[in-house]
Amino acid sequence: MAQRTFSIIKPDAFRKGFTGAIFAEIDKAGFQIVGIKKLSISKAQAQGFYYVHKERPFFDDLTTFMSSGPIVLLVLEKENAIADLRKLMGATNPANAEEGTIRKKFAGSIQENAIHGSDAEETAAFEIGYWFAGYELI
Ligand code: ATP
Ligand code: MG
């Protein structure tokens, strides 16, 4: 059954002009785009999105980074979307990312790692609902 996941083209990738190339990877992997928007988010919006990480030492830097420039928010659909997107993204730290993954190709560091993808069904549901209204998903 088709499944939905949530993704972000992060500010580093957008700034470096990698958005189109990342879209091409997502398209080639068979994902349908059911929601899409470009935003510049506030630090408070980033903190709400990443609240699960609020006790982590990198939380302040991460939310400053995520609010540092335009990002592209995506709701993606395919069979096994959550796991397949994580695989396509590669490891959090690009130094550990497999050859051919988006982070291997486009990420600069463990923080500025080009793309976000939901890690489970419950987080996907929270993340989609955080950024999109139902009528924006087509
Ligand atoms: P994401 O949630 O963005 O898809 P992820 O699930 O691979 O990435 P998480 O552990 O959820 O990784 O961390 C969320 C984000 O926080 C990472 O993508 C990265 O931008 C940042 N981050 C994670 N660990 C570190 C770290 N040790 N130092 C700096 N930033 C980090
Ligand atoms: Mg995560």
pLDDT in tens, 24-70: 999 999 999 999 999 999 999 999 999 999 999 999 999 999 999 99
* Chain mean pLDDT for the chain: 98
Span 65-91, average pLDDT: 98
Tell me what pLDDT residue 123 has: 98
Q: What is the pTM of this model?
A: 0.97
Looking at ligand 1, which residue's alpha carbon is closest to its atom 3?
116
Tell me what pLDDT residue 1 has: 81
pLDDT for 87 beyond 90: yes
119: CA distance to ligand 1 center in Å? Answer: 11
Q: Which residue is listed with tokens 């993606």?
A: 76
Looking at ligand 1, which residue's alpha carbon is closest to its atom 1?
116
Ranges of H-type helices in the chain = 11-15, 19-28, 43-49, 59-66, 81-89, 102-106, 121-131
Ligand 1 pocket check for 112: Cβ under 6 Å? no
Give the tokens for residue 12: 């580093």
Neighbouring residues of 86: CB distance < 8 A, sequence distance ≥ 6:
117, 119
Tell me what pLDDT residue 83 has: 98
- Pocket probe for ligand 1: among 51, 92, 103, the residue whose CB has the most ligand atoms within 8 Å is 92
How far from each other are the two terminal CA atoms of the chain, in whole angstroms?
17
Tell me what pLDDT residue 138 has: 96
User: Sheet containing 71-79: which strands, arranged edge to edge?
Assistant: 32-39, 71-79, 2-9, 115-117
